[in-house]
Amino acid sequence: MNYLEEYQKWCESPEFDEETKQELLSIKGNEEEIEDRFYKELEFGTAGLRGIIGAGTNRMNKYTVGKATQGLANYILEQGTQSKGVAISYDSRKMSKEFSMQTALILCANGIKAYLFESLRPVPELSFAVRNLGCTAGVMITASHNPPKYNGYKVYWDDGAQIVSPKDKDIINKVRAVKSYNEIKTIAQEEAIQKGLLNIVGTEMDDKYLSVLKNAVLNPQIMREQGKKLKVVYTPLHGTGNTIAEKLFKELGLENVYVVPEQKDPDGNFPTVDYPNPEDPKAFKLALELAKKVDADVVLATDPDADRLGIFAKDAKTGEYMSYTGNMSALLIAEYRISQMKEKGILPANGMFITTIVSSNLAKAIAQYYNLECIEVLTGFKNIGAVMKKAEENKDKTYVFGYEESYGCLIGDYARDKDGIAAVMALCEAACYYQAQGKTLWDAMNDIYEKYGYYKEEQVSIVREGAQGAQEIKDMMTKMRNTDIESIGNYKVLTFKDVEKDIVKNMQTGETTKTGLPQSNVLYYELENDAWCCIRPSGTEPKIKLYMGIKANTEEEAKIKIEELKNAMLKIVEN
């Protein structure tokens, strides 16, 4: 069936409600829009669903969500774990509340217990709740930091991490096996409650989660003392963060916290930002205005589902607010926490520091300094979670810290996804600790560079939308994969990794070995002088992502080197 036939079916079939049909009839004659909505099914990939909200097979709507949930239900029933139940949470996006209730009721209709949060909650609390309740799975309705027109559906398994291979592929196959929307089972909310299948989760889970976070503080006394002076500006960017953060600030003894009033309340339209992403400096506009007004020391922002954290810190010497990349903020937390654990004699001898192949090489330097095993995984926090699960089962290694460059880290093993709330807490603790020494967070960051070297990273995205764009992205990857690149800019290529083909090629000798990583469409170039480049298509957005990093002796040298490497990489990929 081609896209026009599929469109016609949705406009006429009794499977679809009148509201859906009216939305589709309003685009009649707009071939480009119809093609984009129907040229494929919204793929249930390894990260679940993510797409633009609207009617159509390539959109987030109650039919695509229903199909995904029925497929998940069929898998759970096959495993025989339906009595353990599924925890469900959602963020502030449009349709999140509706999709979460729909998910819960479809599961209930299949005889699977559902634990649905009473209102929106952050991703890390959902991950924690899956473990705390002993659930077989979890679902989070969120499109993370994507623009307002998007929503998504993330699936977690019983360890609290997003699903990984082979489970992801098994669930994907179950979802694909649901051929008709008529196969989706339903039940009334009242009946689901009466049967004990629908369970509402309230603030008692917040209290358990907050208790675990507070127990992770390494210097509570310093935090209480310095918390009287430290000034913090925080914004949840209209998302879930403030459902937990403000209460946590208060209980930790931070007395001067200013939540950006215009962005405090949840709002799926994200009216004050184009893009609710703490990776984007423009998202900090209102927060920085407030920071200057109150003379704040630290400015913090979490994304809508509160798994990512962005930060600006004041440079006392210039009075300027300095932005941190995801690598910088996470590694500042890592250096602070690991150094304090060592000082207190609680750093485990079998400790592991988990990072991703596109994150800063500074992680390796910190791990080496503190005698921790540095484990590199593919992009995506679920891969960090998979290493944690294996260590938990084997009881041979202890998790100390894990992070990915996309503004996410996890300070403890209570959850299995990145935790922006815990990161907010850890950065505030670090700020209090360094303040007691007469230093700012910016001073602390510069101390790290002086200690280990000036590592700098950059990420660039090349956007290609629609069916044609998807083909262009595929062609770019094919060209790069099939071309022997001996140098990038001023750097010789030492090794080339093709993770999809499981090949590591030594560019000097031509010798090949295996990557040891799960199959993924990723190309990685190890360059001389501790530099590197990586290229991969996004799994959730119509773009190809380029990552790169260098090491230099000074900040100025680092800026020049990373710019040169970025331009050289772009030239190779786009030509």
Average pLDDT score over residue span 283-291: 98
CA distances from 38 to 64, 351, 538, 558 (A): 12, 49, 21, 46
pLDDT > 70 in the chain, percent: 99
Q: Is residue 404's pLDDT more than 90?
A: yes
Average pLDDT score over residue span 56-70: 97
Give the chain's mean pLDDT.
Answer: 96
Contacts of 107 (CB under 8 A, 6+ apart): 69, 72, 73, 76, 86, 113, 114, 197
Find, among 490, 523, 522, 496, the residue nearest to 508 by Cα: 496
Could you tell me the pLDDT band of residue 538, with boundaries at 50, 70 and 90? confident
User: Hey, which CATH number is domain 40-201, 2.60.40.10, 3.40.120.10, 2.30.30.760, 3.30.70.580?
Assistant: 3.40.120.10
* Phi, psi for 533 (deg, rounded to 5): -140, 155
CATH 3.40.50.620, applies to 454-574? no
* Integer Cα distance of 10 and 421 in angstroms: 42
Do 334 and 405 form a contact (C-beta atoms < 8 A)? no
* Integer Cα distance of 518 and 463 in angstroms: 26
Q: Is residue 64's pLDDT more than 90?
A: yes
* Phi, psi for 429 (deg, rounded to 5): -65, -45
Q: Would you state the structure tokens that stand for residue 446, as one six-digit string?
A: 């510069």
Do 566 and 460 form a contact (C-beta atoms < 8 A)? yes
Q: Tell me, what's the pLDDT at 160?
A: 97
Q: Would you state the structure tokens that stand for residue 93, as one six-digit string?
A: 């996006």
3-state secondary structure 274-319: CCCCCCCHHHHHHHHHHHHHHCCCEEEEECCCCCCEEEEEECCCCC
Which CATH number applies to 209-452? 3.40.120.10
pTM here?
0.94
Q: Tell me, what's the pLDDT at 539?
A: 74
Q: Is 426 left (phi over 0), alpha (psi -120 to 50) or beta?
A: alpha
Q: Tell me, what's the pLDDT at 74?
A: 98
Same fold, 40-201 and 209-452: yes
Average pLDDT score over residue span 57-72: 97
Instruction: Clarify whether 180 is annotated catalytic.
Output: no
What ranges do the domains of the chain cover? Answer: 40-201, 209-452, 454-574
Tens digits of per-residue pLDDT, 250-275? 999 999 999 999 999 999 999 999 88
Could you tell me the pLDDT band of residue 215, with boundaries at 50, 70 and 90? very high
Average pLDDT score over residue span 333-355: 98
Helix (H, G, I), strand (E, B) or coil at 268: coil
Q: Tell me, what's the pLDDT at 46?
A: 66
Do 124 and 303 form a contact (C-beta atoms < 8 A)? no
Q: Is residue 542's pLDDT more than 90?
A: no
Q: Active-site residue among 92, 96, 100, 144?
A: 144
Tens digits of per-residue pLDDT, 350-401? 999 999 999 999 999 999 999 999 999 998 899 999 999 999 999 999 999 9
Do 243 and 121 form a contact (C-beta atoms < 8 A)? yes
Do 494 and 506 form a contact (C-beta atoms < 8 A)? yes
Bridge partners of 156, per DSSP, are: 138, 162
Average pLDDT score over residue span 476-489: 94
Helix (H, G, I), strand (E, B) or coil at 242: helix
Neighbouring C-beta atoms of residue 312, cutoff 10 Å: 24
Could you tell me the pLDDT band of residue 540, with boundaries at 50, 70 and 90? low
Tens digits of per-residue pLDDT, 169-185? 999 999 999 999 999 99
Could you tell me the pLDDT band of residue 470, with boundaries at 50, 70 and 90? confident
